[in-house]
Amino acid sequence: MGTKGSELVKKINLGPSGLQVSAVALGVMRITKLDLAQATALLDTAYTSGINFFDNADIYAGGEAETLFGAALKNASFKREDVLVQSKVGIVPGKRYDFSKAHIIESVDGSLKRLGLDYLDVLLLHRPDALLEPDQVADAFNALQNAGKVRNFGVSNVNPGQIELLKSAVSQPLVANQLQLSLMHTGMIDAGIHVNMTDDRSFDHDGGILEYSRLHNMTVQAWSPYQYGFFEGVFIDNPKFPELNAALDKLAAQYHTNKSAIASAWLTRLPGTQVIAGTTNAKRLADIAEAGNIRLEAQEWYDLYLAAGNDLP
């Protein structure tokens, strides 16, 4: 299935789903700082910039993000069918992770109600539940798919072993894995570059998830693409990172674009990777979307990796 919309941002396949998704997507975790008119303008800017994919979660702003996104989607100048809406389930904030059948189904019903939609294009399991019972997830996915409430399924923040465990019962393809990934959060890449070394960067925290994702045709969705640490702040224009910002500036000038676009293009240069940008600023979103036309040279990609404070053994 294709979607309409501008071709300004390149489209990639979302795993084996058959969906063509923009390589830059809009995440709406922070959207409730906007009012309805501003949120509608943000969605319209996304669409006219070539972004056709929107990432939600049941827990963002305690559900208020889905409510506002849904209202903005109704007001927007494009049709719901022309874009793809993803949400997530499985976190009960501050209490537990919950992949039980009852929780998954109830949560999706809640998301659809808040969003004012009949179906989600994609549902992700948000963060692994230590008490996972794969049969429960399989029953929930089958029920949601048969009811026409969810069309595609995926995961977030999981490693290959956890995916295999899910697949022991789940029959639908898992089309995406949403993972923290940015120029300042490269552990999954470092471990591959430092393989067989004894330094800290050689430590594999994630079970080779990038290689696994490629082998199994799962799109990697990069969350917090402009942040360092765990929501510590933005690295772009941040004086804490002079070398990285100088390298971003240089390439931004060379490609006649801006630093956010270059930081995004660094991610989209990784095969099968989609950027989930969380800006609430329409101008910034249009800037970020410029990444959709940029393919960095391999040396430029490595120059940025090194400027971010990494090394090559």
Site residues for ligand NAP per CB under 6 A:
27-30, 55, 156-157, 178, 223-227, 234, 236, 260, 276-281, 284
Q: Say how far apart CA 42 and CA 33 lie, in whole Å.
A: 12
Q: Which residue is nearest to ligand NAP (CB)?
A: 278
Question: Closer CB to ligand NAP, residue 92 or residue 143?
Answer: 92
Question: Closer CB to ligand NAP, residue 124 or residue 137?
Answer: 124
Name the E strands within 196-281: 219-223, 227-228, 233-234, 273-277
Q: Say how far apart CA 294 and CA 268 lie, in whole Å.
A: 9
Among 117, 23, 39, 38, CA closest to 79: 117
β-strand pairing of 174-180 with 150-156: parallel
The identity of residue 79, as a single letter, is: K
Question: Closer CB to ligand NAP, residue 28 or residue 76?
Answer: 28
Q: Say how far apart CA 281 and CA 302 lie, in whole Å.
A: 29
Q: Is the distance from CB of 279 to CB of 288 less than 8 angstroms?
A: yes
In the complex, what is the shortest distance from the CB of residue 199 to ligand NAP, in angstroms, rounded to a whole number?
27
In the complex, what is the shortest distance from the CB of residue 281 to ligand NAP, in angstroms, rounded to a whole number?
4
In the complex, what is the shortest distance from the CB of residue 197 to ligand NAP, in angstroms, rounded to a whole number?
29
Q: Is the distance from CB of 76 to CB of 44 less than 8 angstroms?
A: yes
In the complex, what is the shortest distance from the CB of residue 71 to ligand NAP, in angstroms, rounded to a whole number?
17
Question: Closer CB to ligand NAP, residue 76 or residue 288?
Answer: 288
Question: Closer CB to ligand NAP, residue 280 or residue 293?
Answer: 280
In the complex, what is the shortest distance from the CB of residue 257 to ligand NAP, in angstroms, rounded to a whole number?
12
